[in-house]
Amino acid sequence: MYSDLPKVLHGLAGKPLLAHVLDAARALEPSRLCVVVGHGADRVREMLAAPDVSFALQDRQLGTGHAVMQAVPQLAPKGTVLILYGDVPLISSDTLRSLVEAASHGALAILTQEVEDPKGYGRIVREGGKVVRIVEEKDANGNERAIREVNTGILAVPREHLEPWLARLGNANAQGEYYLTDVIAAAVADGVQVEVRHPAAAHECLGVNSKTELATLERHYRMNRSAKLMKQGVTLADPARIDVRGELTCGRDVSIDVNCIFEGKVALADGVKVGANCILRDVEIGAGTEIKPFSLMEEAIVGANARIGPYARIRPGTTLDDEVHVGNFVEVKATRMGRGSKANHLAYVGDSTVGRDVNIGAGTITCNYDGANKHRTVIEDNVHIGSDVQLIAPVTVGAGATIGAGATISKDVPPGGLTLTEKKQVTKPDWKRPQKKK
């Protein structure tokens, strides 16, 4: 990977490769989850620590069989052991479930697949149609290398057989390692049935050993998510140009334009439209709302039939009620805006409570920070604020008030009426513009 970051911590769709594998395993409701760590063990523990995950250290990398040996003391005494790989992130829970079910009656179950180019994979050797062993490429002869059925490495083993089979592993091979795949031959020798299952999709078993392969898996993941969304009725302008890096739920008749990124938990209600190049992170969007292009929204709630953007930034702690309009180059943070209120151009509304049917003019800002502490601005219902107004918090603007353009408001404004900070307009007829020096 040409990186200081341990391979299994590289990101796919917004979370580490290993996190995808753990999530697939959790879907099977296992009694225990054990991660075998080696290179970068401390960083892996730090990033993937969870109440249901234990860690086993493989201080010397002596092969996959040796890795499993390190985990054995942490395994339950009975049941089925499912062995996965931290750099194979797209494996589905359905595929794993079929493998575990195959091993639940005492069989050894392995996941194999047919590939056009088997180079680099262990080959499945069959006799009379039955699997008898797996041979790694470096140990294979010419005939064995021609086999196209390959080992994915993923298998399910009855717990009572695992330790005896591991004890019989040797390292008399080209790599000098203890291969987990040798348990297949041990199972055959003991008369244990070997069941074979295949992944639902070929890309499920793709591993990551380079940034190129990581990008390939990212594309597979993206297309899978796009297919699921479209199956649910979501309209995607281009299925190849959407990134879902978390959980995205959509109602009916949702449409999403190109190059949008969804992170964390995002919920789009019926009829929501998301314009091109938007980023939504941990937000809820109400029915009929339109998010126009180039808008960034995070940790916010938006009501129904609102209009956001283009080029709007909605920051954490914001709640926008139904029919609110937040326009171009407007930033809203830690604010509640009431139904029908508008800030359409070039405004900053921070740490504020805004009532219903308020109009905030272009260039208006709430001055919420005094250099040490944040203060709150309250704007009551039906207030009209002209352009280029500064509201110096803490301040309250009473219901129905109007504030003239260019005002600097540092005191509470009473309800109704017009509030100005007047300055005399002066004209100097003899004044001349400065000239550019030659």
Q: Give the pLDDT score at 181.
A: 87
The pair of structure tokens assigned to 175 is: 């790599």
CATH number at residue 314: 2.160.10.10
Whole-model pTM?
0.86
**Residue that finishes a domain, picked among 205, 237, 252:** 205
Query: Do 231 and 118 sit in the same domain of this protein?
Result: no
Q: Give the Cα separation of 416 and 422 in Å (integer).
A: 18
Within-domain flag for 358: yes
Q: Say if residue 29 is exposed, middle or buried (CB neighbours under 10 Å; 0-12, 13-18, 19+).
A: exposed
Query: Do 166 and 256 sit in the same domain of this protein?
Result: no
User: Long-range contacts made by residues 315-322, C-beta under 8 angstroms, separation at least 24?
Assistant: 315/350, 321/356, 322/286
Within-domain flag for 39: yes
Within-domain flag for 436: no
Query: Do 290 and 410 sit in the same domain of this protein?
Result: yes
Catalytic residue list:
345
Q: Give the Cα separation of 319 and 436 in Å (integer).
A: 50
| Residue-range definition of the domain harbouring residue 266 | 225-419
Query: Do 196 and 322 sit in the same domain of this protein?
Result: no
Query: Do 33 and 149 sit in the same domain of this protein?
Result: yes
Within-domain flag for 215: no
Query: Do 175 and 311 sit in the same domain of this protein?
Result: no
Query: Do 266 and 348 sit in the same domain of this protein?
Result: yes
296-302 and 149-158 as β-strands: parallel, antiparallel, unpaired? unpaired
Query: Do 82 and 130 sit in the same domain of this protein?
Result: yes
Within-domain flag for 118: yes
Within-domain flag for 432: no
Query: Do 80 and 138 sit in the same domain of this protein?
Result: yes
pLDDT in tens, the chain (438 residues): 999 999 999 999 999 999 999 999 999 999 999 999 998 999 999 999 999 999 999 999 899 999 999 999 999 999 999 999 999 999 999 999 999 999 988 999 999 999 988 888 889 999 989 899 889 888 899 899 999 999 999 999 999 999 999 999 999 888 889 989 899 989 999 999 999 999 999 899 999 999 999 999 999 999 999 999 999 999 999 999 999 999 999 999 999 999 999 999 999 999 999 999 999 999 999 999 999 999 999 999 999 999 999 999 999 999 999 999 999 999 999 999 999 999 999 999 999 999 999 999 999 999 999 989 999 999 999 999 999 999 999 999 999 999 999 999 999 999 999 999 987 777 688 878 778 888
Q: Give the Cα separation of 188 and 110 in Å (integer).
A: 13
Number of domains in the chain: 2
CATH number at residue 66: 3.90.550.10
